[in-house]
Amino acid sequence: MRYQQSDPDVRLMLRVKEDDAAAFETLVRRYQTRLVRLMQHMGPREMAEDLAQETFLRVYRARTRYEPGAKFATWLYTIAGNVARNANRSAGRRNEVIEVDAPLGNDSAGGMMLASAATDESGMMPTRLVEKTERADIVRQAIEQLGSRQRMALMLSRFENLSYAEIAEAMGLSSKAVKSLLSRARVNLREILQPYIDAGVIPQEPK
């Protein structure tokens, strides 16, 4: 009841439950960008829009079973997580560690690409301060090296501003587990990106 009163998206979803297609369209418009961004990092990148759409469809099909027990976003991201996991399983990408939560480590192609971006042919000196798009590539590849659960927790915390408790609900974990996941994610990001910062490829301070 509390969420029904405070979360406008819950109220919209309750209208969707009553087969109000216009309310559903509002929700799609409201969440499409965020869901596509999440899917760009959680599923096969080229399928991000398809996966976002699949998530919306599942939400609609599940409308009659919806009960406003939490923030709407939490429920949506639970479904999104399942859709991404299924898509990754189907894609069967051997080079990416999806189902096991081990990071890619030092033999990943992504890591090699990052290395080449950061150093010259001798492997010793930084070539240049990279452009914004390249910096984005470096960061994206850094995220890809994280395990899927760390990545999901990172996306929900950093971009969706969910609390530990909300992330725990969306991912079916305890708050303590989320705390550990996010700590590992931060530490790992630091491990991956620090060399670029040290080498001057990425500026020390945010631009």
Partner 1 sequence: MNPQLLSDGQPVDPSDERLVAYLDGELDIVDRDQLEQELVDDVALRTRLQELQRGWDLLDELPDATPSEKLVETTMELVISDLTKASRTNRKWWQRVPLVVPLAVVCSLSAALGYGFVELRRQAAFDRELDDLRLVENLDAYLDGSDLKLMRTLAGNADWRRVVDALKIGESNSSVVTDNPAIAKTDDQRLLHLSEMPDQELGSLAAAWASFQNFNDATRAKIRRTAETVSLQTDADELLATMKDYSLWKASLPTELIDAIEGNTSASPIEGTEPLSRDDAIEQAITLTQERTRRESSRLLSESTIKTIMSLLEHILKQRLEDPASPTSIAKARAEKWAYERYAGHVDHERIQNMLMAALTDDGRPRPTSYLKVPGMNDKELELLEIWLPSEDLRNLDILSGDVPMLRASALKTWAAAAVSRSTEHVEMSVLDSYRMLSDGERQRYDLGPPEGLQRKLTENQRDRRYSRRGGGRSSRSSTTESDHE
Q: Is 206 a residue that touches partner 1 (CB under 8 A)?
A: yes
Q: Whole-angstrom Cα distance, residue 139 to residue 42?
A: 14
The binder of partner 1 chosen from 19, 67, 99, 120 (CB under 8 A): 19
- Stretch of 2-10, 30-38, 78-86, 87-95 lying at the interface with partner 1 (CB under 8 A): 30-38
- Closest distance to partner 1 from the beta carbon of 179 (Å): 6
**114-173: which residues touch partner 1 (CB under 8 A)?**
114-115, 118-119, 132-133, 135-136, 138-140, 142-143, 145-147, 149-150, 154, 157-159, 163-164
List of residues 6+ apart from 75 with CB closer than 8 A: 13, 59, 66, 170
Bridge partners (DSSP) listed for residue 94: none
- Closest distance to partner 1 from the beta carbon of 169 (Å): 15
Dihedral sign, CA of 11, 17, 22, 25? positive
- How many chain residues bind partner 1 (CB under 8 A)? 76
Classify residue 186 as exposed, middle or buried by CB count within 10 Å of its CB (0-12, 13-18, 19+): middle
The binder of partner 1 chosen from 32, 78, 82, 127 (CB under 8 A): 32
The binder of partner 1 chosen from 13, 51, 52, 80 (CB under 8 A): 52
Neighbours of 64 (CB within 10 A): 10
How distant, in Å, are the alpha carbons of 116, 124, 138, 159, 183 from that of 196? 11, 12, 9, 23, 21
- Stretch of 1-9, 64-72, 81-89, 108-116 lying at the interface with partner 1 (CB under 8 A): 108-116
